[in-house]
Amino acid sequence: MAAGDSIPIIDLGPYLAGTPGAQQDAARQLRHALTEIGFYYIVNHGIPRARIADIYAAAARFHALPLDEKMKIRIDKHNVGYLPMKGDTLRTSVVQAVTRPNLNEALFVARDLAPDHPDVVADKRFRSANQWPADLPGFRDTVMGYCDALEALVKKLVRLYAVALELPPTWFDNAFDDLQYKLRMTHYPPQEPTAEDDFGIAPHTDTSFLTVLAPNEVSGLAIRRQDGQWLDAPPIADAFVVNGGQLLLRWTNDRFLATPHRAINRSGGERYALAFFCDAKIDWPIAAVPTTVGPDKPPKYETTWYTDYMVAYQKRTYDLLQQAAE
């Protein structure tokens, strides 16, 4: 495990190849990363460069559409669709008081459920059909191909999380067999230095069990170390960035970190980011795993469920939804 400016780099190649002892070694590295820093890079992850290039090109194509076209699929109560520029304010931040909206726009995509899927027909919260732009040939296939590849990778990653928590490797398999995910395809326009509290995305922690951020040639991400200092997360060729969020805290009884981070686009050009947020399937109870609790370590959080947690989060974060409800 090397370090990129203090953020560990985990080589998944031996583990994915089934090399004896590699799973334990990768899990040990992951445990260090998530207890000391809360972020890590992964390399030799098996996602082809061409697929990554294609999803970035798709993001640029979507955000190049006229605003009125994008607003036809504006974000809904299921958190899928288009979020316009300055459409969210991270009032849920546990890092600082945030009052100004984020300087970005984004398209949110979830598992591509069919219109006749029972959960879609029942209008089950966060289990809806996606909203797709019209007249963007190949876009849907490119996006869902990327999501399928990332989901397969995440299912391999959660086995490392299990081993890192001194659990059997398959501990999370059932919980993540129909995992909840959201792909956020974000566009950050060039940002000039203005107010101190102007951000592409303000300091925050994610909600997820884990987030996988695509390799990016344009810098902008920074994380806050445990000593309070901000540390840039420089782009590393072909390396995904992975971190945990508030639901990981609940699963691990605060053993693993949910590290604050922010993004500011000072590149002088357009910046796109692709964050893949992952959680257990929607009806799975979220509670501390057995190895993180005991007589002297009671659970710090009540058992919760994805829907309950995300409804509360969404109400405070997405300005556009609040405006629509008024």
- Find the helix or strand (DSSP H, E) in which 28 lies: helix 22-36
Q: Give the per-residue pLDDT at 204.
A: 86
What is the reported pLDDT for 1? 46
Structure tokens at 271: 């910046």
DSSP state of 304: B
Query: How big is the chain by its Cα radius of gyration, in Å?
Result: 19
Dist. CA 213–CA 249, nearest whole Å:
19
Count of structural domains within the chain: 1
pLDDT at 325: 41
Question: Which CATH number is 85's domain given?
Answer: 2.60.120.330
Complete edge-to-edge strand list for the sheet that includes strand 2-4: 2-4, 7-11, 39-43, 240-243, 210-213, 271-279, 180-188, 105-110, 81-83
Q: Which domain holds residue 94?
A: 2-325
pLDDT at 141: 98
State the pLDDT at residue 93.
47
Q: Quick one: pLDDT at residue 315?
A: 74
Residue 168 is which amino acid?
A: P
Q: In the prediction, which pLDDT does 197 show?
A: 58
- The helix (run of H) or strand (run of E) holding residue 106 is strand 105-110
- Segment-wise mean pLDDT, segments of 10 residues, the chain, 326 residues: 69 98 98 96 98 98 96 94 74 52 89 97 96 96 98 98 98 98 94 64 89 95 90 94 97 96 88 97 97 96 95 68 44
pLDDT of amino acid 326: 38
